[in-house]
Amino acid sequence: MTVEYTERGMLKYSEKLLERFRNPKHIGEMENPTVVAEEGDPQCGDMFRLYLKIEDDRIVDAKFLSFGCAANIATGDMTVELVKGKTVAEAERLQIKEIADALGGLPLIKMHCAVLSYKTLKKALAEYRKSRAGSVSPPQG
């Protein structure tokens, strides 16, 4: 695996990723979300929390908090951006590669940081489905 570093010995990220890290658009907490999910990465010990507001099976708002690295903040922000406004079914089809591609790529050794936000999204959507399944009224008659 080739890992690129800057002349100052830091891991080399794309400009898009660095811009997202410096100016995330969707970071923060949310009052009264439909669902909140949290995941941790056993590899690095970092955490990621995702809030989704869902109306009529559409993600009308989303926010996140990252307790992780620059790559996690950037991939988390992009994850939110890619699912905001989408239906739950569309969000369920999102792939990790789409998140990395939207950031101009990600060093392979940092892919687990994208996996963390992706896994949290999957968990939040699964919890939403579960809560909906529980609220469906049994057939009458």
Q: Give the binding site for ligand FES (CB under 6 A).
A: 41, 44, 46, 68-69, 71-72, 113, 116
Of the candidates 23, 43, 44, 131, the residue annotated as catalytic is 44
Q: How far is the CB of 17 from ligand FES (least distance, A)?
A: 12
Beta-strand (E) ranges in the chain?
Answer: 35-40, 47-55, 58-67
Decide: helix, strand or coil at residue 113.
helix
Compute the distance between CA of residue 37 and CA of residue 49 in angstroms, rounded to an integer: 6
Of the candidates 54, 83, 100, 113, the residue annotated as catalytic is 113
User: Does residue 79 contact residue 64 with C-beta atoms inside 8 Å?
Assistant: yes
Neighbours of 36 (CB within 10 A): 17
Identify whether 69 is a catalytic site residue. Answer: no
Q: How far is the CB of 84 from ligand FES (least distance, A)?
A: 21
Identify whether 44 is a catalytic site residue. Answer: yes
Q: How far is the CB of 112 from ligand FES (least distance, A)?
A: 7
Residues belonging to the active site? 44, 113
